[in-house]
Structure 1
Amino acid sequence: MFREQRRKQAADKLAVGVEWRGTDDHVFTTGWGEPIHPDTVSSLIATVIKRYNSPAQGARPGQPLPHARLHDLRHVHATTLLLAGVPVHVVAARLGHADPSITLGVYAHVIRTAEASAAEIFAQAIGE
């Protein structure tokens, strides 16, 4: 998917020529290469969810998607990594947190859940 997006950007860059304003460090850009504002992407996510939940044709899904923002995907990513046992300092680096204590503060509830699971696994391992 990202390779296809990069190909589309390369085509846009060729089409726009010297008016291209972008750099190579943004995945999603306007047609002239500037970064897309995050609110634009968030509103597009809401539109996609709405169309999925209420399609113009065909049946509605059995399980509709809940409202979500772009920022919610960040939380899903961090939560999934932490519950999978990825160390907090690694998750903090992926999120761009300067200090893992920021990650610990935001995701303390997830870490407590993971700790409870670890305790249960340990108890089973020692035969309790």
Structure 2
Amino acid sequence: MAAATYHKVWWPSVDVQRYTADRPPVWEEDASAWVDPTFDGKSWRPAVEAAGIVPTRATGMHALRHFYASALLDAGESIKALASYLGHSDPGFTLRVYTHLMPSSEEWTRHAIDDLLGR
């Protein structure tokens, strides 16, 4: 709980521009995902710069997308679901790109038992 309180103090919530009839998301025809074409330039890049970080590919949307995928895989999300979230039409492609991030079965076993025992 202390971590959540700390986070709220140092990183208070901000108003986020929601999709509206006047500002709809963009549907990419070659993918099954919604894309906000202004997010990188109007939200992400200014936040990176405000944090004193030089905007590069390693700190851009690619890194954020990779972090998102790795966090979901670590939490146990399936490749098929992740493929859908990322807009990949072929889960095999997602598996080839992100397979190195998947925990081993030994890690899964250890996590499962730790969770069961409340560790």
* RMSD (Å) for aligned C-alpha atoms: 3.7
Change (3 A) 1:107 1:79: same
Unaligned runs of 5+ in 1: 14-21, 27-34, 55-65
Unaligned runs of 5+ in 2: 1-12, 27-35
Please say if 1:82 is aligned against 2:73: yes
Please say if 1:117 is aligned against 2:116: no
- CA–CA distance in structure 2, aligned partners of residues 87 and 80 of structure 1: 12
TM-score, L = length of structure 2: 0.54
Q: Which of 12, 17, 35 is the equivalent residue of 1:5?
A: 17
Q: What percent identity do the matched residue pairs reach? A: 26
Change (3 A) 1:75 1:6: same
Rg larger in structure:
1
Higher relative contact order at CA 8 Å, sep ≥6: structure 1 or structure 2? 2
- Please report how far the alpha carbon of residue 5 of structure 1 lies from its aligned counterpart in structure 2 after TM superposition: 1.1
- CA deviations on 1:52-101 (whole Å, 9 max, x unpaired) are 238xxxxxxxxxxx951012111111110001001110001101111111
- CA–CA distance in structure 1, aligned partners of residues 112 and 38 of structure 2: 46
Aligned length: 90
